[in-house]
Structures are given as structure tokens and as C-alpha cells.
Chains A and B, each alone.
Chain A
Amino acid sequence: MDNKMEVKILEIMNTVLDNRTKKKLTVLSPEMHLRNDIGFDSLDLAELTVRIEAEYDIDIFEDGIVNTVSEIFEKLNSK
């Protein structure tokens, strides 16, 4: 996993969590589930998608559901 990208994604996720007054993350690991472990709901995931897209110009939900942190990195690295 690209460390710079990991730092950026963690920052973006914390922005989303903070906006919804949810508990922020201190670390990010690939197996983390976006809903069950991090606590994102569908509206949070929408905001996450938009913020990632603004940064990397990739819509991670465009062709199917993304469930875990590692799947986000796969999408970002595959383009």
C-alpha cells in the first residue's frame, strides 16, 4: 500500500467522520470494513466517494459496491 495515499485516505475518512460527529480513526488497516468497523452509513459513503473523487478523479462506487479499505486502494491503484 502506498503510504502517501494511505495518509490521504485516512485524512479524508476523518473529515467525513468529523462532519457527521462520529469517532475519528487513528490508524487505517486494509481489512477494515467501511460500515462495520469504521461506522460509515450510506450517506457517509457518498461523501467519502465524492471527496476521494475530488482528490484522485476516480469514482470508487461507479462499478459496484466497495466494502473494505483494501478495496478502495485496489480501485485507486487499478487506474
Chain B
Amino acid sequence: MNVLITGISKGLGLKTSESLLRNGWTVYGISRSKTEELNELLLQYPDKLKWLQYDLGDAEKIRQIIFKDWIGLDTPIHGLVNNAAMAYDDIVTNLNLDSLEKMYRVNVFTPMMLTKFVIRQMLLHHTKGSIVHISSISVHTGYKGLSMYASTKGALEAFSKNTAREWGEVGVRSNCLVAGFMETEMSSSLSDNQKNRIYQRTSLKKPVDVNSVAETIKFLLSDKANSITGQNIHVDNGTI
């Protein structure tokens, strides 16, 4: 199994990569920076973990740099995890168009372009592949300051459902993992008070366990999930 994952230097991307590598899968991981934790993982899995430094704000060079030069068209890809994202949080009346466009490039346009080329690679190799987009509970439950961010994830959910319908016929699946708030850098800009209020809105009243999210991603990528497509799978401590 060869899986392409974005945003592997920390948080959920790192945990998911670890989990897939433990399973013996090969991980093609992309991130802007190399953290100490990522470096350790690279040393631990020198053959199975391939790393590329790439800024996902650049959707233009994806085909050439990621698919032709790095992975190579001869390599089948069985899974894609669109994990990398940026959070531009503010109330709507402060909305800055440049920040919004930048966030849409990283959170929406690049994942869509990656999906395009991954499906093309799956067609070339006749691979029954699985695509997992990381979405957010903010799409389904409103939070002050997250409307712009939530809108990018809502776009991904719609994209995923329609991708599933379009490509199911050739065996390609697409699902969204709707994650609740985890203790990762993505939510580091929130104050403790804000975080506590968010956790109080969940059934389990605590942050979502990153490992639980990572294991669910692994499940959705695997053949065990071969009847699941076009779904939003919530791993959110029961935000109801």
C-alpha cells in the first residue's frame, strides 16, 4: 500500500503516518517543514517513509513536482489523505480577502488538484483507491470566529461526496473524516477558556484523541472499509 499524506510534520498527519508505517505501508508524506518528530520517524523508517518539502499554497506545480518528479507515474497510489490545512480565524466583519484566498488555496484548491492527479494515477494502474479528506466539526456545529475556516471544510465535504459518486464505478472511494477539536497546533490559537467551552459541547467533555482519528483514517484507507464511500465519518467525542 502506497499512501500520499499532506501535512505530516506534526499533529494528526504525523500520528497517521506513524500508524500507517507500523502497518508496513509506504507513506509519501508532504510538509513545508521538517520537525524533530518527523526526522525521528524518517530515521525509524528509512525505506518506507518518503518525504517531500512542498508548500501546498502552490497548486500549479503539483503534477510536475509531486507526481512526475517525486512519486513517479510508475508507482501506484492506493490512498490519499488530505490532511494539511491552515486556520484563518476571525469574525466575519474582519474578513480579509487575501487571507481567505490563501486559506482556500491550501485547504480546498490544492486538495482538489491532488485528488485529480491521484485518481489519474489510480486509473493508470487500475488501483481501487481510497481518498480521505480531513474535515472539521465546525462544518456541522457553529463556533464564533470559524465561519471562514468551516466554509473551506464544507467545500471539501461536498467535493468528496460528489467524487465518490463520480468514481465509485471504477472502485475509487472518497470519504471525509470529520474531526472534533484535538490538542494540536491547529487549535493552539484558542484560549483555554475557549477550548473548555468547546469541550463542554461534546458528549465525552474532553479533547478528541488524535490516535482515535488516525486509526479511523487508517481504517477508511484499508480494504476493511471497502463498502464505505461518500460518507462523513465523525470522530468528535460526540458533538451533538
Contact = CB atoms under 8 A, between A and B. Distances in A.
Interface of A: 19, 43, 46-47, 49-51, 53-54
Given A43-B170, A54-B73, A19 B126 contact: yes
A58 to B, nearest CB: 13
A53 B123 CA distance: 12
A27 B120 CA distance: 27
B124 A50 contact: yes
Interface string B157-171: 000000000010110
A56 to B, nearest CB: 12
A62 B8 CA distance: 31
A43 to B, nearest CB: 6
Q: Which 9 A-B pairs have the closest CB atoms?
A: A47-B123, A50-B120, A50-B123, A50-B124, A54-B73, A54-B124, A46-B123, A43-B170, A43-B169
A54 to B, nearest CB: 5
A46 B121 CA distance: 11
Contacts, number: 20
Nearest to B117: A50
11 contacts: A19-B126, A43-B167, A46-B123, A47-B124, A49-B120, A50-B121, A50-B123, A50-B124, A51-B123, A53-B120, A54-B73
A15 B120 CA distance: 15
* Interface class of chain B by DSSP: helix
A60 B199 CA distance: 51
Nearest to A49: B120
B124 A51 contact: yes
Nearest to A41: B169
B63 to A, nearest CB: 9
A46 B119 CA distance: 10
B67 to A, nearest CB: 11
A59 B73 CA distance: 14
Contacts of A43: 167, 169-170
Contacts of A54: 73, 124
Contacts of B170: 43, 47
B169 to A, nearest CB: 6
Nearest to B63: A59
From B121, B126, B169, B170, residue with most partner A Cβ within 10 Å: B170
Contacts of B119: 46
B59 to A, nearest CB: 15
A50 B116 CA distance: 11
Contacts of A51: 123-124
A16 to B, nearest CB: 9
A46 B120 CA distance: 8
Nearest to B73: A54
A51 B121 CA distance: 10
Nearest to B119: A46
Nearest to A47: B123
Interface in B156-194: 167, 169-170
B237 to A, nearest CB: 39
